[in-house]
Amino acid sequence: QKEVEQNSGPLSVPEGAIASLNCTYSDRGSQSFFWYRQYSGKSPELIMSIYSNGDKEDGRFTAQLNKASQYVSLLIRDSQPSDSATYLCAVNKSGGYQKVTFGTGTKLQVIP
């Protein structure tokens, strides 16, 4: 079982729709969760971080965390073509442990 699992996609959504990206993780000791966006040929860019159960909203982005289910998701409202990218889920055990484990990423395509 992979430590961090994501559906590779591509996930295609029409412009203006809600894109839902999902991620599961295997280590129950994980405490910090991140979503990165990576455009083709570029390095990852931090979008959201979440540490406690529930929802965290930042503009059009909402991160959702459910530690009991070991599940974290990212919702993108009013999707735009510029949101088309690969989204990486990352998990950190925290507690002073600095290494982050990345999922393989989900490719999102927003169709105009």
Partner 1 sequence: GAVVSQHPSRVICKSGTSVKIECRSLDFQATTMFWYRQFPKQSLMLMATSNEGSKATYEQGVEKDKFLINHASLTLSTLTVTSAHPEDSSFYICSVNLPKRGGTDTQYFGPGTRLTVL
From the CB of 34, what's the least distance to partner 1, in Å?
Answer: 7
From residue 1 to residue 40, what is the string marking binding to partner 1 with x (rule CB under 8 A)? ------------------------------xx-x-x----
Is residue 96 close enough to count as binding partner 1 by CB under 8 A? yes
Of 27, 45, 57, 78, the one binding partner 1 (CB under 8 A) is 45
How far is Cα of residue 38 from the mean position of the Cα atoms in its chain?
Answer: 11
Give the strand order in the sheet containing 19-25.
Answer: 4-6, 19-25, 71-76, 61-66, 54-58
- Which has the closest alpha carbon to 112: 86, 85, 80, 75? 80
Binders of partner 1 among 62-91, rule CB under 8 A? 88, 90
